[in-house]
Homo-oligomer: A and B are copies of this chain.
Amino acid sequence: MQNRDLRTLREIARLGSFREAAERLNMTLSAVSMQMKALEAQLDGALFDRSTRPPRLTPLGRRVAEAADEVLAAEDRLRALAGPEAPLAGRFRLGLVASASARLLPDFLQSVARDLPHTRFDLRTGLSEQLEGLVAEGALDAAVVTATGVALGGGRHTLLARDRLILAVPPGEAPLPFLHFAPTTGIGRVIAAELAHRPDLRDAPRIVLDHVETIVACLDAGVGRTVLPEIDLARARQPFDATALDAMRSLVLVTRIGTPLDAYAERLAALLGVRSAISAT
């Protein structure tokens, strides 16, 4: 079945004559006639009552013309997906490291709903390394992870945000245990590296936790000291002594080089609520 024929049928239904439809579609009257003949043959049913001179649609013809409208409307919707005005359309599979999701997701989902009504995002969370692997093998289109050194082969890192690490200590004299974000994760590894320079923290009793929220809650309770990105500590409700460290936690967008999406990395980064994204392999 040819959509071209359906388009012609629609024009005939609208204008009421083969001739007018032919003119409007820049075709010969004979081409119009042949198309309709072919359509009737394919459907095995009379679409027109040819006993009258401008042939009239039969009841079946009217119904088919309506159905043709639907087919063509669906086609138009498909066309609208691509084209210059919709460069970021599609169905993206995006991975998010858990520690970043709370920070980025709300704004991100809001921007998407507002600016990209035709775009869908299938989201999943995971650990940085795991997500980076999924991007490499094509199971994800992109992932937001904590940068730990350099990108995997074939992957590009687009910097989304850099947050200074802060040593947070509840007020008081007693030496408190160190609340360590799970050291096998991306951010955990950054923190572990920093501990190497701080023997006082490195040698303190250690409590390993794998949720930022939990660590902050413990900090509020005065249960221990911790090192976390500044942005996460902003959620603390009790005052604490803050010491800025040299290390930073970098959130990056991972894409696979050469991938069509890779070209959109900057735009996707912008969508993730970051003002100016810096790309680096």
Residue numbers of A with Cβ under 8 A of B are: 1-3, 6, 43-46, 49, 51-52, 56, 58-64, 66-68, 70-71, 73-75, 77-79, 81-84, 89-93, 118-120, 138, 141, 256, 258-261
- Distance of A51 Cα from B258 Cα, bound (Å): 7
- Indicate whether A79 sits within 8 Å of B49 (C-beta atoms), given known contacts A58-B90, A60-B89, A120-B63: no
- Distance of A120 Cα from B67 Cα, bound (Å): 13
Specify which of B49, B78, B259 is in contact with A138 (CB 8 Å cutoff).
B49
Specify which of B44, B56, B64 is in contact with A78 (CB 8 Å cutoff).
B64
- Distance of A35 Cα from B74 Cα, bound (Å): 20
Specify which of B1, B51, B258 is in contact with A259 (CB 8 Å cutoff).
B51
- By beta carbon, the residue of chain B nearest A264 is B59
Find out whether the CB atom of A45 lies under 8 angstroms from the CB atom of B77.
no
Contacts of A56 in B (CB 8 A): 138
Find out whether the CB atom of A49 lies under 8 angstroms from the CB atom of B83.
no
Contacts of A261 in B (CB 8 A): 49, 58-59
With both chains docked as a complex, state the minimum distance between the C-beta of A216 and any C-beta of chain B, in angstroms: 35
Contacts of A93 in B (CB 8 A): 59
Find out whether the CB atom of A70 lies under 8 angstroms from the CB atom of B77.
yes
- By beta carbon, the residue of chain B nearest A54 is B138
- Indicate whether A45 sits within 8 Å of B259 (C-beta atoms), given known contacts A58-B90, A91-B66, A138-B56: no
- Distance of A163 Cα from B79 Cα, bound (Å): 59
Find out whether the CB atom of B2 lies under 8 angstroms from the CB atom of A44.
no
- Indicate whether A63 sits within 8 Å of B91 (C-beta atoms), given known contacts A51-B256, A71-B74: yes
Specify which of B44, B45, B83, B256 is in contact with A45 (CB 8 Å cutoff).
B83
With both chains docked as a complex, state the minimum distance between the C-beta of A258 and any C-beta of chain B, in angstroms: 4
- Indicate whether A62 sits within 8 Å of B91 (C-beta atoms), given known contacts A49-B260, A71-B71, A138-B49: yes
Contacts of A82 in B (CB 8 A): 43-45, 60, 64
Find out whether the CB atom of A83 lies under 8 angstroms from the CB atom of B44.
yes
Contacts of A63 in B (CB 8 A): 81, 89-91, 118-120
Contacts of A58 in B (CB 8 A): 90, 141, 259-261
